[in-house]
């Protein structure tokens, strides 16, 4: 059975809204470029030194708009990040520090991030990489050989392994809460207990 967020309507709405905003901005962006080119052509119609943006030039112009917008508005997250479930084959971490003002022992407020890559063998017998950035130090949560589930529209996978550390997971910001609260302390979205999701699946 394909896992869904049916039981979590607020999370589902959140994902749909993010996709809708992304695609609307992308569409507006493409229209802006198109009307920009058409406006330029209209403005230089009688100027013999200017050749308008037409034919292949217009195609190239729109291709550039499509490519830039694809990354600018992260349209790839809508189109290329489906719900994925699989077993972790390998995990990769890279650490980065952003230091604050000051020197030596006076340094204050640094930002510590784990850029995480999980290499998966998916339930559909494919290989796939899932990338996300951990800011809350939950990197021990994802271990090789464990079954995970990442929902479309959210960065953070759930650990479905029966022996996974207990916790209520925010799939939006990655916070793991040991005590149950109705909403995430960080982003106020509902939390998921992976164990509950597991038992519902069967």
Query: Does residue 135 touch Zn ion according to CB under 5 A?
Result: no
Question: Coil, strand, or helix at residue 133?
Answer: strand
Query: Does residue 184 touch Zn ion according to CB under 5 A?
Result: yes
Distance in Å, CB of 167 to Zn ion, minimum: 12
**Mask 151-180, x = binds Zn ion (CB under 5 A)?**
-------------------x-xx-x-----
Distance in Å, CB of 144 to Zn ion, minimum: 26
CA-based diameter of the chain, in Å? 74
Query: Does residue 10 touch Zn ion according to CB under 5 A?
Result: no
147-182 core/surface letters (b: 16 or more CB in 10 A; e: else): bbbbbbbbbbbbbbbeebeebbbbbbbbbbbeeeee
CB proximity list for 23: less than 8 A, separation 6 or greater: 75, 78
Distance in Å, CB of 22 to Zn ion, minimum: 19
Nearer to Zn ion, 34 or 173 (CB): 173
Distance in Å, CB of 199 to Zn ion, minimum: 23
Nearer to Zn ion, 41 or 136 (CB): 136
How far is it, in rounded angstroms, from Cα 148 to Cα 116? 14
The residues of the shown chain that bind Zn ion, judged by CB under 5 A, are: 170, 172-173, 175, 184, 186-187
């Amino acid at each position: 059975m394909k896992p869904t967020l049916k039981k979590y309507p607020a999370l589902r709405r959140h994902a749909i809204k993010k996709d809708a905003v992304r695609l609307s901005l992308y569409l507006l962006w493409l229209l802006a470029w198109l009307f920009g080119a058409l406006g330029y052509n209209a403005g230089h119609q009688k100027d013999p030194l200017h050749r308008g943006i037409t034919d292949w030039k217009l195609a190239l112009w729109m291709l550039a708009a499509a490519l830039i917008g694809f990354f600018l508005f992260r349209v790839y997250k809508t189109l290329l990040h489906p719900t994925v479930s699989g077993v972790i084959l390998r995990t990769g971490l890279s650490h980065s520090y952003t230091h604050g003002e000051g020197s030596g022992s006076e340094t204050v407020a640094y930002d510590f991030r784990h850029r995480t890559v999980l290499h998966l063998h998916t339930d559909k017998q494919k290989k796939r990489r899932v990338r996300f950035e951990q800011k809350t130090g939950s990197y021990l949560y994802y271990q090789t050989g464990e079954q995970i589930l990442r929902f479309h529209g959210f960065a953070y996978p759930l650990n479905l392994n029966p022996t996974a550390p207990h916790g209520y997971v925010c799939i939006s910001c990655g916070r793991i809460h040991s005590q149950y609260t109705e909403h995430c302390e960080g982003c106020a979205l509902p939390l998921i207990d992976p164990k509950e999701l597991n038992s519902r699946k069967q």
